[in-house]
Structure 1
Amino acid sequence: MAIGTALAGELKINPFDGDIFRIGLGSSAFLLFLLLLRRLPYLVTGVITGTGVLLFRTGLDQALGNGLTLADSVTRHGSAAVYYIVFAFGMSLIKRRLDRFYPLALGAVTAVIDLVSNEAELLTRLLVTGTATFKLNEWTFLMAIAMLRTYFVTGIYSSISVSRMRIVQKEQNRRIEQMLRISSGLYGEVFYLKKSIGTLENLTLQSYELYRQLSDKGQEAHKQYVLGITQQIHEVKKDSQRILAGLIKLTDREVPGDMPLSGLVQYTVHSSQQYAEMLGKRIVFTQKITLDYATANYIPLLTLLGNLTANAVEAIQDRGQIHLEVREQAGWTLLMVSDSGSGFAQDERELVFEPGFTTKFDEEGVAATGIGLSHVRDIVARFDGEISLDTAPGLGGARVQIRIPTRMLRKPTSPT
């Protein structure tokens, strides 16, 4: 900082007659350094910078052979060191409150500090050389220079701060999207794991009931075999419950709070666009949102919309269109995903929500798992909703329409 300030100080103007007082970019650079590097101790930094400027200018005089002795150079430039020390002291007084100042206020406060520092420099010159005399109009010009210089610096600092904030916000949005993507996937795993645990519980009861029936019939060999199966099912259930407990902690901790329906749609569109680009498809996404409210159940809704839009992307060959719509209908929240893909035949529409049903095959003819839409159906059922499939008006592909009671999703507003 001291070197940079000393070098910038050589770019200067002399607004008054002679060379008794000069205005350079050193003070502007010093102010910018202080605003950007707040972890530094300001007063110590001012002493080091002032000393560095003094040594630099004195050494420059000696190197250029200006006809000044070493003592003359120190006397001539010593007041500049005083300027930086006083300026750093003034900035240290407001250091903790810098973030509270708006740019205009910050420029005004630093201009006052600059003016006081200039007065200290002039007073030092007067005491040392006895040659610093100024008229009223020159003081007015000095104040104007201070205002211009500090507002110029605070403008640059504000621009840098805005750029930093944009970078931080972009990174935060990226992390939020990543957390939402992970949590949405975990929600699906939690949902199916809960179903599996319920199935295991029923199997345990049925197996134990068979064990009791075999005991009544005196079939000891079969009884012990069934008991062993029952114990193994019970262990699998316990392990699944432990895994479930860990997953629930992850989903609850990663993405707390709530999200508006419009935010859900925006996130879904963004993720689906990336998915389409990955598959090399050119798909235009459109949306229409006439209902918007905050919901705490955004993870299952993201899972729903994510599965539906992913299916729509896969149903389109090379290019096409996907439309998302959110609206209200007599106390129901309607979520609709329409595409311009191949759609479903009439005889397939009653089967598409069954586990294992699929119309998608890879290049080797291997079928997909076919659990995406069945997953959607199960989540919709959890919210007492309904799901239907028909032809998308105007697009010709499939339209999946989900109806969920608004009371199941809307987050209650706090009384004011």
Structure 2
Amino acid sequence: MQTFIKNEKLQIFVIALSAAIGEGFKINPFSGDFFRIGLGVSTFLFLLLFMRHLSYIKAGILTGLVNVAFQAGDWMLLTHSFSVIESLQNNLAAGFYYVVFGFGMSRIQSRITEFHPLLLGGIVSLIDFVANGTELLVRGTLLGTTVFEFHAWFVLLITAIVRSFFVIGLYSSIAVSQMRFLHAEREKRMEQMLNIGAGLYGEAFYLKKSMDTIEEITAHSFDLYRKLKEQSLTSHSQQALGVAQQIHEVKKDSQRILAGILKLFDSKIIVDMNLSEILHFVIKGNEEYSEMLKKTIRIEKDMGDDYNIKNYIPILTILNNLVANAVEAIDLQGTIHLRIFEQDNETLFMISDDGKGIPEQDKDIIFEPGFTTKFNQEGIAATGIGLSHVRDIVRSLGGYIAVKSSEAGGAKMVVCLPTYELKKGG
């Protein structure tokens, strides 16, 4: 297979051989064996459309030669005549068809993908008609038959149109299927990249906070070292200095890690995204998450104005966390509703579910680090940094987050962010 892909001569030979074999399935629109229409032409055109890297002229010449050889041999077997000259006289014209057709297709080879299918079908029909006409003229010259009959040329025109549009239609349907498959693959990779980016953003956000804390601890440790030294507590002061130095090393390591993470999602090279696109990936990702948890959850959306986002990673991180929490709050089946709209220069995100809800006594502390209601099968509590993480990101964007009771009986998370912080060019 690798040899076939790399060897263009072999590919051209396969085209020529396939077209010659296809010519074995033919119809005779005129009386006798004067003119034949076979599937070889359709096969030839179909393969040319999918092998645009090849030389169409070379393919036409080789296909013409192979086709003449096949038809001449077939003619000898049918007529029981082994006259090479007579055989060529009756079949040489078929080779001219492929040469002319290959030349004509080479004129549009670089623009095939640019043409609308209907326009491409019309152009190919014209090329096919000219090639068929050339074959008819050459055959008439060699055999001394009349070729200027309206009926003959009309049949050629209809044949060219039907054959060309049939092949172009088949080619277009396959091309569309390929494009859909590629689009689905690209969307899948995009979703994976978005999830990775959102995860990295969260880690980078907390790492920055940790570095600020480390900086404060380093300053306090060094201040403690100075005070102990002033009191002549040499051994204790050296211990404090050692702690300060070790914390400083941790800070430098954290800086290196943060720099590496930031390189992985440089916001300057990330593609633009609209709110609707972000919502699409959030819904799709969490539908898959609910399936993984073996839950039947329907996620509905209600969206107002759509606009381009400056930096989609924080929004994706916020929505992913909140919708994932809603998925986890629902037992086996339920509904999650996402509503996004603008109000007084602010964009509001409302995520509600019909899960078990949040007790009133917990609503004031759910955003505190360490608070959690999630436990694994071993009874070990989760870290409880999810909602505190979301709150910190929301605050960094100049907004706020609140929790309310949902009309459906579960919880409703309300995130309010300044639109100018989100909208690109806003």
> Does residue 404 of structure 1 match 2:422?
no
CA–CA distance in structure 2, aligned partners of residues 201 and 253 of structure 1: 26
What residue in structure 1 maps to residue 273 of structure 2?
259
Task: Spell out, residue by residue over 1:184-233, the C-alpha distance to the aligned partner (whole angstroms, 9 max, x if none).
Answer: 11111111111111111111111111122222222222222222211111
Q: Percent of pairs identical after alignment?
A: 48
**What are the superposed Cα offsets for residues 147-204 of structure 1, whole Å, 9 maximum, x if unpaired?**
2211221111111221121111111111111110110111111111111111111111
Residue 304 of structure 1: aligned partner: 318
Aligned to 2:31: 17
Whole-angstrom CA distance in 2 between matches of 1:236 and 1:144: 80
Cα offsets for 1:129-150 (capped at 9, x unmatched): 3235331232222222212211
Structure 1 residues 14-413: aligned runs within 5 Å: 14-63=28-77, 66-252=80-266, 256-393=270-407, 395-412=408-425
Q: Is the alpha carbon distance of 1:65 and 1:16 closer, same or farther for their aligned partners in structure 2, counting shifts above 3 Å?
A: closer
CA contact (8 A) 1:2 1:52 kept: yes
Any idea what SS the aligned residue of 2:266 has? helix
Q: Which amino acid aligns with 1:230?
A: A
Letter in 2 for 1:344: I
Partner SS for 2:413: strand
Change in Cα spacing, 1:110 to 1:291, as seen in structure 2 (3 Å) is: closer
Post-superposition Cα deviations, 1:24-82, rounded to whole Å, max 9, x if no partner, equal: 22112111111111111111111221122122223334455644533332322211111
Contact 2:133 2:153 in 1 (8 A): no
In structure 2, give the amino acid aligned to 1:343.
G
The answer to whether the 8 A contact 1:179-1:255 is kept is no
Distance 2:386 2:80 in 1: 84
**Distance apart, 1:255 and its partner CA:** 6.6
After TM superposition, the runs of 4+ consecutive aligned structure 1 residues lying more than 6 A away are: none
8 Å CA contact 2:353, 2:410 repeated in 1: yes
**Greater mean alpha carbon deviation, residues 322-331 or residues 370-379:** 322-331
CA contact (8 A) 2:68 2:91 kept: yes
Question: Aligned partners of 2:253, 2:203: CA distance in 1, in Å?
Answer: 15
Q: 1:132 to 1:214 in 2, by over 3 A?
A: farther
- For 1:105 and 1:161, the matched residues in 2 are separated by 16
Computed over aligned residues only, the root mean square deviation of the Cα atoms, in angstroms, reads 1.7
- Provide Cα deviations, 1:67-109, integer angstroms capped at 9, x if missing partner: 4533332322211111111111111121112222211221121
Report the Cα distance in structure 2 between the residues aligned to 1:120 and 1:310, rounded to whole angstroms.
68
Where 2:265 maps in the other structure, the secondary structure is: helix
How many residue pairs are counted as aligned between the two chains?
A: 412
TM-score between both structures, scaled by the size of structure 2: 0.92
Q: Could you tell me how far apart the structure 1 residues matched to 2:269 and 2:198 are?
A: 10
